[in-house]
Structure 1
Amino acid sequence: MVSNFFVSSNIMFGKDSVKELPAMLKQYGAENVMIVYDNGVKMAGIADQVLETLKEVDVNVVIFDKVLPNPTNELVEEAAKLALNEKIELFIAVGGGSSIDLTKAVNILMTNPGPIGQYGGIGNVKNDVLPLIAIPTTAGTSSEITNVVALTDTVAVCKYVIIDNKLTPNNVIIDPEFTKTMPASVTAATGMDAVTHAVESYISNMATPLTEYNSLKGLEILYNNLPKVVADGTDMEARERMMLGCIVTGFGFSNANLGLVHGIAHTLSAHFHLAHGMANASVLPYVMEFNAESCPEKMVELAKAIGLSVSGEIDKDKYLLSNELKKLIKTLGIKTLSKQGIKEKDFEMLAEDVIKEPVLNFNPRQNITKQQVLEILKKAL
């Protein structure tokens, strides 16, 4: 069987790796550079650290610091207008998935006509984009090394993705020190986002031996270190391992795609502005329980990857992972849907939108019905 595995980014990994930024910029010879981040990155002092390194290079720096969670089409268009006016030649995205995804989307509009919404789907970006350097501050989305952009359409009230190999950042600087200021709740939610990526990509019907290896290894690393960093945010060895797990997992899911968990999470974020990682974590165990019927052998392999003891009875062992994930989200303090403000009266509307999600095409269990989604949501309430 022929399969494709795409990896593009040049990754600089480790403590103080941000010091390599000036040398990277000199390679491109850009004069006008835009740096993109949110208020949290600014308040944590991370933006200032990055800006300080830019003083070593003779470039004109333009700042866009209005990034919000679940970035919208309107925010992309606003940032793109500024970038076009300033004749930006290179982007630096600093932050979590929202900052990096917004920057990727803006980059599309530098060399392709708007509006941004027309590029939803796979392979719809016609022209090559400008150089992009990504500096992640969370261990969760893997956006820094993937070809995926997730945006919110406030008119259609949905979250959609743009997938194109042109969008993968050229260079990535991964400094675990930049994750040290994340509060425990954000560490838990973003970490569970990465766990979701590992699990969903492994059981995806697009998975290949290469993606499966990355998904299993990524899950092992994340599972063994996430409780440590949530309990002690100063554990820098565990922080570094989380960043490593995120990268390894990203290589897998960007090639294998995701499934029903993300279909539900996209809908929750679009309608109720739930943080993406928290939305994923809330429903992950129950979707895995649902999917176990379609891929029992893979569920057992996932259980083995995190050290769970299997009995050899597949009808029992296929639920080991989902049961362990239920324990894990409780340990990490992941909120139930009801504690995030979701009410049972909202389920009908949510379920109707979930079954329209394109990402369901990659889920191992197909022909998902509205009633089945309702049952999952009730368990997660």
Structure 2
Amino acid sequence: MAFEFFVKSDITFGRDSVKELSKVVKGCKAKKVMLVYDAGVKFAGIADTVLENLKTADVDIVIFDKVIPNPTNEIVEEAAEIAKRENVDAFVAVGGGSSIDLAKAIDVLMTNPGPIGRYGGIGMVENELLPLIAIPTTAGTSSEITNVSALIDTEKVLKYVVIDNKLVPSKVIIDPEFTKTMPASVTASTGMDAITHAVESYISNMATPLTEFHSLQGLKIIYSNLPAAVKDGSNMEAREQMMLGCVITGFGFSNANLGLVHGIAHTLSAHFQLAHGMANATVLPYVMAFNAESCPEKMVELAKAIDLPVTGNIDTDKYLLSDELLKLTKELGIKTLSEQGIREEDFEMLAEDVLHEPVLGFNPRQNITKEDILGILKKAY
């Protein structure tokens, strides 16, 4: 059986690798660069460090520091208008998934007509993009090496994705030192986002031997290092391994796609602005238990990958992973839906919207009903 596996990333990985930024920018032959980041990156001093290195590249710099969690169509259009007016010819995105996803979307509008919403879906972008250098500061989304930009349509009240191989950043600089300042709660939620990517892509009905390999290896690394990284943010070995696991997992899920966990998380973020990683983590154990009937063998393989005590009885072993994920979310302080301000009276509306999420097509268990989703939301409450 033939299958495709797309990898485009050019990665510089390791501590102090930000020092390579000037050389990378010069290699792009850029004259004016837009530096994209959020207030948290500025507050942590990371933006200033990047800016110092960028200045040595002898380019003009335009700063866009209005990145918001779950970037909207409006913020994309605003930033793109500035970039066009300033004749920007390259981008440097510093931060988590929101900053990198926003930069990708801005870049789309530099060489393709707007509005950005017309590119929702797979393979809708016509023209090649300008150079984009991604510098992640979290170990979670893998946006730095994926072909995806996740955005919010505030008019339709939905979170949608632009998926196109043209969106993969031209160059990636992964400096684990930049994750050291992340609060424990952010380390936990972004790490659980990465675990979600690993397990959902492994059981996806689009999975192939190559994606399965990356999903399993990424899961092993992330699961082994996440508690240590949350417990002690200065543990640079754990931080570095988290970044490595995130990249490996990204190669898997960007090819295999995701499933019901992300369908629910997208809807929660669209309506209530929940942080993406937290939204995923809250429902992850319950969706994995829901999916276990449809792919028991794969659930057992995931359990084996993280050394859970498999008994040989598939009827019970298929739930080992979901049980362990529930324990892990509690250990890491992942909040329930009620603790995040979601009300039970919101469930009907949320469940209706989840049914329209495209990612459900990649979920191993099909024919998902509104009642199924309501059951998961109630358990996560």
Letter in 1 for 2:342: I
Corresponding position of 2:64: 64
Q: Tell me how far 1:56 sits from its aligned partner.
A: 1.2
Q: Which residue number corresponds to residue 209 of structure 1?
A: 209
Match of 1:307 in 2: 307
Instruction: List alignment gaps of at least 5 residues for structure 1.
Output: none
**Alignment of 1:160 onto 2:160:** yes
Give the corresponding residue for 2:227. 227
* 1:122 lines up with 2:117 in the alignment: no
1:251 aligns with 2:238: no
- Amino acid corresponding to residue 249 of structure 1 in structure 2: T
Q: Which amino acid aligns with 1:117?
A: G
**CA positional deviation for 1:29:** 1.2
Query: Aligned partners of 1:345 and 1:14: how far apart in 2?
Result: 47
- Could you state the TM-score of these two structures normalised by the residue count of structure 2? 1.00
- Counterpart-to-counterpart distance in 1, 2:150 and 2:54: 28
Deviations 1:69-122 (A, max 9, x none): 000000000000000001111000000000000000000000000000000000
- State the partner residue of 1:338: 338
Amino acid at match of 2:57: V
Secondary structure of the corresponding residue to residue 67 of structure 1: coil
Tell me the secondary structure at the aligned position of residue 34 of structure 1.
Answer: strand
Aligned to 2:356: 356
TM-fit CA distance, 1:54 = 1.5
Partner amino acid for 2:93?
A
Gaps of 5+ in 2: none
SS in 1 for 2:329: helix
Deviation of 1:309 after TM superposition, in Å, equals 1.3
Give the Å deviation of 1:55: 2.0
Q: Distance in 1 between the 2:130 and 2:265 partners?
A: 30
Amino acid at match of 1:163: I
Query: Aligned runs of 1:364-375 on 2, under 5 Å?
Result: 364-375=364-375
Please give the secondary structure, in 2, of the residue aligned with 1:161: strand
Q: For 1:153-196, what per-residue CA distance to the aligned partner results, in whole angstroms no more than 9, with x for missing partners?
A: 00000000010000000100000000000000000000000000
1:39 pairs with 2:39: yes
The answer on 1:17 being equivalent to 2:17 is yes
Show the counterpart of 1:239: 239
Residues 282-341 of structure 1: CA deviation (Å, up to 9, x unaligned):
000000000000000000000000010111110000000000000000000000000000
SS of aligned partner of 1:238: helix
Q: State the percentage of identical aligned residues.
A: 76
- Counterparts of 2:181 and 2:152, CA distance in 1: 27
Aligned partners of 1:28, 1:15: CA distance in 2, in Å? 23
**Equivalent residue for 1:176?**
176
Other-structure match for 2:102: 102
Secondary structure in 1 aligned to 2:267? helix
- Number of matched pairs: 381
Aligned to 1:320: 320
Counterpart in the other structure of 2:136:
136
| Alpha-carbon separation, structure 2, partners of 1:117 and 1:283 | 27
RMSD value, Cα: 0.4
Q: Which string of whole-angstrom CA distances, capped at 9 and with x for unpartnered residues, describes residues 246-302 of structure 1?
A: 000000000000000000000000000000000000000000000000000000000
C-alpha separation in 2, matches of 1:19 and 1:82: 27
**1:292 is matched with which residue?**
292
Report runs of 4+ in structure 1 exceeding 2 Å deviation.
none
Q: Name the amino acid aligned to 2:149.
A: V
Correspondence for 1:280: 280
Q: Which residue of 1 aligns with 2:89?
A: 89
For 1:45 and 1:29, locate their aligned partners in 2 and report how far apart those are by CA, in whole Å: 27
Q: Provide the rounded CA distance (Å) in 1 between the counterparts of 2:45 and 2:142.
A: 22
